Amino acid sequence: MTGSREFMPVRPLERDVRHRVSHTWVMDAIDPLPPLTDPDPLGEALHFLRMSGAFYCHSELSAPWGMTLPPMPDYLWFHVVTSGRVWLEADEAHARCLQPGDVALVPHGAGHGLRSEPGVPAPGILELEPTRVSDRYERLRHGAGGAPTTLVCGAVRFEHPVARNLVEILPKVIHIEASSSPRADWMQATLQLMAAEAKELRPGGEAVITRLADILVIQAIRSWIDTDPAAQTGWLGALQDRQIGRAIALIHRDPARAWTVASLADQLAMSRSAFAARFTELVDEPAMRYVTRWRMHVAHNSLEQDGATVAELARRLGYRSEAAFARAFKRVVGVPPGAVKRAPETQVPLSAGGV
């Protein structure tokens, strides 16, 4: 995480797609969690990858076929190929062929195309006519009758601030190939079960498919962390550091505590100067700036999703007055808390300079 990454902007979903998405807000970041006895900060970050606002589609396609998926800001697109072959084109630099058993993520909700072959026309997904099974699940049949392909796609949103921090630093596209995944056997067993359920949707089949899809998304993120050197640096790298990872977990678990550099260093049995230098080196910002930004990150989510009051947030995040909280919020986010409450679905200008 760098000083230029404050919070994910709050932007409207693509208007014609938003009606398909069910919003179930999950917000439990403010209340302290139990004490850390066996710290696993990275595991804790993965634990918070709980999905909400999800939309899933099982597609049966026949070549030639193509479709264009619209931008979904703050959402993560995923594609799981259960049979056939899919060309995913996020842009000219991110075109790749997905084979059976592959999982692809488009973490930042960018618009992209899916095709049976490069160059095939790809109408917008809203021009096609899927069959709605439920508010969150659809089935789509599309194509010209040639070679078949089946896949499960979806758009999911992560509400917990830890999860959103993690998703924010993922690359533009993650492609987990079935043949090269370190957990290939496990992922293939999951895919086989998903394919069997999708072939003939039985009672409860939708619940099985959507839950399996959620598991595959998390597994794909774990696989990227295991194999990509980029996951060993920055905020993710700091989470995996024995001492600084523990400090970050303490801040995340109890943002209202009156943290100081000295109190955090004491928790880690480090000197104040050694802790301050190492935290800044790994996280790319000083510890107390991270504490303040984390509090404001939690507050921003709670204002947007839960409708919390300024007085409530000031009390729960350890501020002595509403005015002190409001000043800190505006300094970090760039707008007063009331602006988020009044316009939760408009883009909020975010400061880039820290606190």
* pLDDT of 148 strictly over 90: yes
Question: Quick one: pLDDT at residue 53?
Answer: 64
pLDDT digits (tens, 9 = 90+) for 176-210: 887 665 566 777 778 778 777 766 667 777 778 87
Q: Which residue has the higher pLDDT, 242 or 15?
A: 242
For 121-143, the pLDDT digits (tens) are 999 998 998 888 877 888 899 99
pLDDT at 25: 29
pTM summary value: 0.74
Give per-residue pLDDT as tens, 31-66.
444 455 556 788 878 877 877 767 889 899 999 999
SS (H, E, C) the chain: CCCCCCCCCCCCCCHHHHCCCCCCCCCCCCCCCCCCCCCCHHHHHHHCCCEEEEEEEEEEEECCCEEEECCCCCCEEEEEEEECCEEEECCCCCEEEECCCCEEEECCCCCEEEECCCCCCCCEHHHCCCEEEECCEEEEEEECCCCEEEEEEEEEEECCHHHHHHHHCCCCCEEECCCCCCCHHHHHHHHHHHHHHHHCCCCCHHHHHHHHHHHHHHHHHHHHHHHCHHHHCHHHHHHCCHHHHHHHHHHHHCCCCCCCHHHHHHHCCCCHHHHHHHHHHHHCCCHHHHHHHHHHHHHHHHHHHHCCCHHHHHHHCCCCCHHHHHHHHHHHHCCCHHHHHHCCCCCCCCCCCCC
The fraction of the chain above a pLDDT of 90, given in percent, is 41
Tens-digit pLDDT profile for residues 218-252: 888 888 888 888 888 888 889 989 999 999 999 98
40-228 CATH, one of 3.40.50.1360, 2.60.120.280, 1.10.3720.10, 3.40.47.10: 2.60.120.280
Architecture of domain 234-342: Orthogonal Bundle (1.10)
**Does this chain's domain 40-228 share its CATH topology with 234-342?**
no
Domain chopping of the chain, boundaries: 40-228, 234-342
354 compared with 343, residue with greater pLDDT: 343
Q: Say yes or no to pLDDT of 27 above 70.
A: no
* For residues 314-335, average pLDDT: 91
